[in-house]
């Protein structure tokens, strides 16, 4: 089993319980104690866990990886600015995918002004915001609802997305870097995001500048998969130039 996969399993275990032991990791991942301890050392270096005698406990950062309610309060001004800019790329009668995530939810407030739109989403908050508007045809992806992420995931959801084609996909990611492309902290989430990107004519990645040149556990798409990266004005100009060299169009929301 690959190291990044093991780390994801460890964090998933800590998401459902307050602490874990080295022995639990050994049994779950089928690795030696030495390997399990190395993984814990690596996770601690990222401030994702606190090692204890014989195991580890989670940190507040670990909670934030999984908890929608905590993440929705982070960088709110930047997220709103990003979605304001993103809405300028939407045209009347478009069919659009909207990914789950605490940035994408802010896009909904700009959609009701259109005469007609089709919105395909796995995000329960997006559904809640748009369900009462008759000018929006709302297509809800079927599958398993995960309460902490407030979204729908799984094989059924992936197959469901594959049945649709959109003009534009508005997606999120935990991180993006020149070296690893788009990354996520969750395999289920990244699988849905990738499906949306694969089934759209244009792909817009919406993320605040704190996520740029930051990698997470699941590497799920190369930079070439996105057409536009919309971020906040806080991005360093040197990064803009670097990404331009790799054919990524960065749009700064002012």
| Average confidence (pLDDT) over 140-155 | 89
What tens digit of pLDDT does each residue of 209-240 get? 989 998 887 889 999 999 999 999 989 899 99
Confidence of residue 3 (pLDDT cuts 50, 70, 90): confident
Assign residue 118 a region (left: φ > 0; alpha: ψ between -120 and 50; beta: otherwise): beta
Question: Minimal CA–CA distance to 56: which of 70, 71, 43?
Answer: 43
Would the pLDDT of 123 be above 90? yes
SS3 of residue 98 by DSSP: strand
| Residue 217 Ramachandran class (φ > 0 left, ψ -120 to 50 alpha, else beta) | alpha
Q: Is the dihedral angle over the CA atoms 53, 54, 59, 61 positive or is it negative?
A: positive
pLDDT reported for residue 130: 96
Question: If phi over 0 gives left and psi between -120 and 50 gives alpha, with beta otherwise, what is residue 89?
Answer: alpha
Q: What is the pLDDT of residue 66?
A: 56
pLDDT at 69: 54
Contacts of 131 (CB under 8 A, 6+ apart): 138
What is the mean pLDDT of the segment spanning 67-90?
80
- Is the pLDDT at 141 greater than 90, yes or no? yes
pLDDT at 65: 55
Per-residue DSSP letter, 49: E
Q: What pLDDT score was predicted for residue 1?
A: 66
Whole-angstrom distance, CA of residue 154 vs CA of residue 171:
17
Q: Are 208 and 183 in contact (CB under 8 A)?
A: no
Domains in the chain with CATH codes: 3-65 (1.10.10.10), 70-253 (3.40.50.1360)
**Amino acid 71: pLDDT:** 58
Tell me what pLDDT residue 64 has. 53
Percent pLDDT > 70 in the chain is 92
- CA 123 to the chain's CA centroid: 11
Residue 114 has pLDDT above 80, yes or no: yes
Give 57's pLDDT tier (boundaries 50, 70, 90). confident
Q: How many other CB atoms sit within 10 Å of the CB of residue 22? A: 21
pLDDT of 157 above 60: yes
Alpha carbon distance 49, 88 (integer Å): 40
- What was the pLDDT predicted at 217? 77
Tokens for 154, please give them. 């799984």
pLDDT averaged over the chain?
A: 89
What span, in angstroms and rounded, lies between the C-alpha atoms of 84 and 78? 10
pLDDT tens column, 166-203:
999 999 998 999 999 999 888 888 999 999 999 999 99
| Sequence-ordered list of residues with C-beta below 8 angstroms from that of 1, at least 6 positions apart, any chain | 29, 30, 31
DSSP 149-176: TTEEESHHHHHHHHT--EEEEEE--SEE
Q: Is pTM, for the whole model, over 0.85?
A: no
């Amino acid at each position: 089993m690959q190291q990044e996969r093991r780390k994801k399993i460890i964090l998933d275990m800590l998401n459902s319980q307050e602490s874990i032991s080295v022995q639990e990791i050994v049994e779950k991942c089928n690795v030696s104690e030495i390997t399990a301890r190395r993984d814990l050392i690596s996770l601690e270096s990222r401030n994702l866990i606190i090692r204890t005698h014989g195991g580890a406990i989670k940190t507040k950062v670990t909670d934030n990886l999984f908890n929608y309610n905590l993440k929705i309060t982070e960088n709110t001004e930047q997220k709103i600015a990003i979605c304001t800019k993103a809405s300028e790329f939407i045209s009347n009668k478009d069919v659009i995918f909207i990914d789950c995530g605490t940035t994408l939810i802010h896009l909904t407030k700009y959609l009701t002004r259109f005469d007609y739109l089709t919105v395909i989403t796995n995000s329960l908050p997006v559904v809640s915001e748009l369900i009462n508007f008759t000018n929006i045809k709302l297509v809800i992806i079927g599958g398993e609802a995960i309460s902490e992420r407030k979204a729908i995931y799984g094989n059924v959801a992936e197959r469901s997305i594959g049945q649709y084609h959109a003009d534009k996909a508005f997606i999120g990611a935990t991180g993006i870097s020149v070296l690893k492309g788009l990354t996520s902290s969750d395999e289920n989430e990244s699988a849905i995001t990738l499906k949306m990107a694969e089934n759209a004519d244009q792909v817009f990645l919406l993320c605040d500048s704190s996520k740029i040149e930051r990698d997470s556990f699941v590497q799920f798409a190369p930079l070439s998969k996105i057409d536009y990266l919309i971020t906040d004005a806080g991005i360093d100009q040197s990064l803009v130039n670097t990404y331009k060299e790799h054919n990524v169009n960065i749009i700064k929301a002012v």
